[in-house]
Structure 1
Amino acid sequence: MPRIGLSTSSVYPESTAHAFSYAAETGYDAVEVMVGIDALSQQVEAVEKLIDHHQLPVCAVHAPCLLFTQRVWGIEPWGKLERSAEMATAVGAEVVVVHPPFRWQREYAAGFVEGIAALEESTGIAFAVENMYPWRASRGKVEMYQPGRDPSAEEYANATIDLSHAAIAKDDPVAMAERLGERLRHVHLTDGTDSAKDEHLVPGRGDIGADTFLHHLARSGFGGEVVLEINTRRCNSHEERLADLRESLEFAQRHLAATAVES
């Protein structure tokens, strides 16, 4: 089976340090570090100490390219990606997860596909570009990403599929995975419904078909990382958050293994 990791964003508003603790307690294989407003997530030495303390590897670094992390590590987008690659190299991760540019980042977007390829060549790190979704407005949907929200439509060497994003966009994640083939390097396992919100539900609580998607990964011999990226902000206690993280891990293990047994 692929290694199953936990994104540090899954325990927000708790810290990166708490995420490592939860991952160790529940039995995840690895951690994906979301570089964000938590100062610890921005510091290589701090992350290295967490790796050593919990004996858990970092499988990926998520670059600070969300709206609320626009000023983390400066405002120059290529500089952010270079620093993400430096962190990944330092902590032993092979993947940097990155979103496509917002459409108002015109210069960045114009050379994005070629720039990503150049960064992969120079750093040896896989920049797995993530699928995104149209924003919903009163007059309909607005495409907010350039050159596009679907990585299978571009010539990226590596891509990430996020199931919550697929749910908002009403994209079929299995069909997207088939289009990507071996270029699918990374997965954000979660769930969603036909909602305007990026829900990031515990897998199995939405209707995007997370179980079917995992079966496809197992049958196709997917060799990348499966990372749980869920929203636990409504959890009122450590025990409640722990239960959601444990349920998510068990869902991934069950459906990846079930297909192996069937075959």
Structure 2
Amino acid sequence: MFHQRLGCSSISFRHQELATALHTMRNAGFEEIDLGALPGVCDHVPYVLDAGAVEAVTAVVLQSGMSVRSVNGDVGDLNATLDAGAREGRDRHLEMLLALASKTGAKALVLPCGAIDHEPKRGLTEDIELVAAELIHASQRAAEFGVELWTESLHYFRLCWNTERAQLLADRLAGSDVGIVMDFSHIVASGGNPVDFVSRFGERIKHVHLRDAVPATDTEPGNINLSIGNGQADFAAGLSALRDFGYTGHFSLELETRDVTHDERPAAAAKAASFITDLI
């Protein structure tokens, strides 16, 4: 029904229980998902994640018949200095997320690009170096589970919130196996350009999130919670740039939108999928 490389993030239906959300996405015509595991954003995966929870979530996903492209998770602020106890907790949480990615057949685990704060905890250079070191460590652990490690390297609300900081992080990840997730909405909200993002990071882009946005103004912050077509993202130009660069990865509608009701959401997701399918 839709392009074979286009899926939908479970975050799009975060208001539903996981089994219901999977059923909704399948009925809308999707066959592939990103599995949201972001505390405070999407509770489809418990934040307190132990072996039993991994097995329970895996069973629900496998029973749905949906394939999983990535697990979109969080193990805490990657630019925070940890004591021994906090380090042990992070490593345990990372291991459980990687086990979940492996058991559900996901290609990768996605981690953020730092704390939900533009201000560094010590200094920008030191913070970005710490984020890079944590991501590289996570990628090495991911390899043990047979999955990849990707980062959403530009996230409007996190440390690496614009193209300049995404570039700084990418420079420190050079030579590693950490891939980049491109998100149209975060790029646009930060005042960036998707075509420029592709030209800078195209070789490292492994996955693409699709949602609309408007950039910040002198009086209003950027808005990333818009349905496709209701913002200023130039999807035609951005997808064309990806195609010209030779991008062969997948795309996911991450419709954490606030301009439709929950009842309207399945039809809105299907409409967005049809629109993007034509552009891919």
Give the TM interval when normalised to the shorter protein: 0.7 to 0.9
For the 8 Å contact 1:3–1:225, the answer to whether it is kept is yes
Which residue of the partner structure matches residue 259 of structure 1? none
Greater shift after overlay, 22-31 or 34-43? 34-43
Q: 1:185 to 1:134 in 2, by over 3 A?
A: closer
Q: Deviations 1:39-66 (Å, cap 9, x if unpaired)?
A: 5423322332233332111110011258
Greater shift after overlay, 91-100 or 211-220? 211-220
What secondary structure is seen at the aligned counterpart in 2 of 1:20? helix
Distance 1:105 1:189 in 2: 33
For the 8 Å contact 1:191–1:203, the answer to whether it is kept is yes
- Extract unaligned runs of 5+ from structure 2: 47-52, 78-85
Which residue of the partner structure matches residue 127 of structure 1? 149
What secondary structure is seen at the aligned counterpart in 2 of 1:112? helix
RMSD, aligned CA: 3.1
Q: Deviations 1:58-87 (Å, cap 9, x if unpaired)?
A: 1100112589xxxxxx89545433332221
Q: 1:19 to 1:231 in 2, by over 3 A?
A: same
For the 8 Å contact 1:99–1:130, the answer to whether it is kept is yes
Q: Does 1:144 align with 2:166?
A: no
What code does the residue aligned with 1:104 have? Answer: K
Q: 1:233 to 1:17 in 2, by over 3 A?
A: farther
Which residue of the partner structure matches residue 244 of structure 1? 268
Distance 2:206 2:149 in 1: 9
What secondary structure is seen at the aligned counterpart in 2 of 1:18? helix
Which residue of the partner structure matches residue 185 of structure 2? 164
Deviation at 1:223, TM superposition (A): 2.0
Which residue of the partner structure matches residue 139 of structure 1? none
Which residue of the partner structure matches residue 98 of structure 1? 111
Q: Does 1:190 align with 2:190?
A: no
Distance 2:21 2:127 in 1: 32
Distance 1:117 1:110 in 2: 10
What code does the residue aligned with 1:5 have? Answer: G
Distance 1:92 1:105 in 2: 38
What code does the residue aligned with 1:112 have? Answer: V
Which residue of the partner structure matches residue 133 of structure 2? 114
What secondary structure is seen at the aligned counterpart in 2 of 1:248? helix
Q: Does 1:83 align with 2:83?
A: no
Distance 2:5 2:45 in 1: 22
Distance 2:64 2:132 in 1: 36
**TM-score if structure 1 supplies the norm length?**
0.79
Q: How does 1:18-33 map to 2 (within 5 A)?
A: 18-33=20-35
Q: 1:203 to 1:235 in 2, by over 3 A?
A: closer
Q: 1:105 to 1:127 in 2, by over 3 A?
A: farther
**TM-score if structure 2 supplies the norm length?**
0.74
Distance 1:181 1:92 in 2: 25
Which residue of the partner structure matches residue 13 of structure 1? 15
Deviation at 1:160, TM superposition (A): 0.6
Distance 1:231 1:111 in 2: 29
Which residue of the partner structure matches residue 201 of structure 2? 180
What secondary structure is seen at the aligned counterpart in 2 of 1:216? helix
For the 8 Å contact 1:30–1:58, the answer to whether it is kept is yes
For the 8 Å contact 2:12–2:254, the answer to whether it is kept is yes
Which residue of the partner structure matches residue 224 of structure 1? 249
What code does the residue aligned with 1:144 have? Answer: L
Greater shift after overlay, 5-14 or 148-157? 148-157
Deviation at 1:131, TM superposition (A): 3.1
What code does the residue aligned with 2:153 have? Answer: N
